[in-house]
């Protein structure tokens, strides 16, 4: 049972699986006086509904933070290390801070500003983690849409940097661009051939 007087932050990320673009981590403390219906795993919610929920979360949450983890950090720390690092930064950025954090997944970052629990599948189980999932996904999708204008031949607005057949074909045809994660296969494998 969660104590309603404690500020519980949900934490989740978007963008661990893509081979291009940044990772985005969100932390959200929901306001129990302003409940939001329909929160859950962002991957199971339609894009238009995610956009509506995003606006509601920004408006109604007690606190939220969005952290963009860049390509250099992903390369230096690897994707898991970058994810854990981004989670710590997101929790540190919350104002007011959290009394406790619930993190989607099975690992807890070191050096957090509050006690934490890991919850596998938490985005579908705990509303605050679902809210973080939605903020991270919508924010990252918007970033990839914007990057599509800079690199229009890759289709980032459609596949968001995930290794779809269309993305892999563009990568083979054009080679990597500045936002590809050079340490990730198949980008790494393609660079070995050059």
pTM of the model: 0.94
Q: What is the mean pLDDT of residues 4-29?
A: 95
Q: Is residue 58 part of a domain?
A: yes
- pLDDT single digits (tens) 125-163: 999 999 999 999 999 999 999 999 999 999 999 999 999
For residue 122, is it within any domain? Answer: yes
pLDDT of residue 4: 64
CA 94 from chain center: how many Å? 16
pLDDT class for 3, splitting at 50, 70, 90?
low
Say how many domains are in the chain. 1
Query: Which CATH number covers residue 18?
Result: 3.30.420.10
pLDDT at 1: 47
Residue 168 lies in a domain: no
Q: For position 190, what pLDDT does the model report?
A: 82
Look at 185 and 92; give whichever has higher pLDDT.
92
Please compute the mean of the pLDDT values over residues 171-193 and round it to a whole number: 90
60 burial (CB, 10 Å; 0-12 / 13-18 / 19+) is: middle
Is residue 158 a part of any domain in this protein? no
Peptide bond into 5 cis (omega under 30): no
pLDDT digits (tens, 9 = 90+) for 66-112: 999 999 999 999 999 999 999 999 999 999 999 999 999 999 999 99
Mean pLDDT over the full length of the chain: 95
SS3 2: coil
pLDDT at 109 (0 to 100): 96
Domain coverage including residue 17: 8-151
């Amino acid at each position: 049972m969660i104590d309603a007087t404690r500020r519980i932050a949900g934490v989740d990320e978007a963008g661990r699986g893509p081979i291009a673009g940044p990772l985005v981590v969100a932390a959200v403390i929901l306001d129990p006086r302003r409940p939001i219906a329909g929160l859950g795993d962002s991957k199971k919610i339609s894009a238009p509904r995610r956009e509506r929920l995003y606006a509601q979360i920004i408006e109604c949450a007690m606190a939220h933070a969005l952290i963009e983890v860049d390509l250099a950090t992903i390369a230096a720390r690897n994707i898991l290390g970058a994810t854990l690092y981004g989670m710590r930064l997101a929790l540190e950025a919350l104002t007011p801070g959290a009394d406790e954090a619930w993190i989607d997944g099975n690992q807890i970052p070191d050096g957090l500003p509050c006690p934490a629990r890991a919850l596998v599948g938490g985005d579908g189980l705990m509303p605050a983690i679902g809210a973080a999932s939605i903020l991270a996904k919508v924010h990252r999708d918007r970033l990839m849409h914007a990057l599509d204008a800079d690199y229009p031949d890759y289709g980032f607005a459609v596949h968001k940097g995930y290794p779809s057949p269309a993305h892999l074909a563009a990568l083979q045809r054009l080679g990597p661009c500045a936002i590809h994660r050079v340490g990730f296969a198949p980008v790494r494998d393609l660079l070995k051939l050059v």
